[in-house]
Amino acid sequence: MRGRGRWVLSLVVASVLIGAPTPAANATQRSRDFDRGWKFALVNPADITDPTGAYAHAADPGYDDGPWRTVDLPHDWSIELDPTPEGTTSDTGYFQGGLGWYRKSFTLPRSYAHKSVSIEFDGIYMDSVVYLNGEQVASHPYGYTGFAVDLSKAHTDGQTPNVVAVQVRNKLPSSRWYSGSGIYRNVHLVVTDPVHIKQHKTFITTPDVESTAKQGFANVHVRTDVEGAGSDTTLAQAIVQ
């Protein structure tokens, strides 16, 4: 199946022997650690507002984040605060949330110019907005799921720095248990060819496995969504037995 800029590849792999060895994994490095060297500022632990306006331009590439703390991810600013009954509840251990900012400066080599580059956030609590070089490129209003941010507009000359800025808002009350606040899970820089498998878009099912397993095999259905710039790429629907 082919849609706008993406294709769906469906495979039906039949008669897979139960307990058969799996092929060796591809050694190509698709994902790179992006956890180190972030700058962080806690704007307001009591609310999601910026009372002084000092952080109004925190997403701008030229904003001075020199006084901000340097942190490695995952990072939770709530656990660093003292518990208080003011504006909090027992459900979250009386820890505050509020408004925080993260920034990271990095360069990309020329070899990435014709690649698909993105950042994958495994989780940000709670309501986040992501900027690249001062331009909003994503928002994610839920703290328990990961999401990917396209970096197609990033500089890839190996010299010009890029700046990713992330605004995080955690308005209390927001959870029935302790959630933490901030970029509390890992972050990855993902580099692929222009035509690639979409994030979280491979689905594997084993229909009728209850009956076939007794006969020593299983039918495996695999569906994968593929996207990319190569509109003339031929992607066929195949059945492999």
CATH for 93: 2.60.120.260
Residue 206 inside a domain? The answer is yes
- Answer yes or no: do 65 and 21 share one domain: no
Instruction: Grade residue 14 by pLDDT with cuts at 50, 70 and 90.
Output: very low
Question: Model pTM?
Answer: 0.81
pLDDT in tens, 108-139: 999 999 999 999 999 999 999 999 999 999 99
Residue 232 inside a domain? The answer is no
Percentage above 70 pLDDT, the chain = 83
Strand extents, DSSP E, 26-143:
31-33, 38-44, 69-71, 98-106, 116-121, 127-132, 135-140
Domain of residue 146: give its range: 36-185
Residue 132 inside a domain? The answer is yes
Structure tokens at 69: 């703390």
| Cβ atoms of residues 47 and 99 within 8 Å | yes
Residue 235 inside a domain? The answer is no
pLDDT in tens, 204-232: 999 888 888 888 988 998 888 888 755 44
Query: What strands lie across the sheet with 6-17, from one edge to the other?
Result: 6-17, 217-227, 196-205
| Cβ atoms of residues 145 and 99 within 8 Å | no
> Is residue 77 predicted with pLDDT exceeding 50?
yes
Residue 81 inside a domain? The answer is yes
Residue 240 inside a domain? The answer is no
Structure tokens at 153: 């507009």
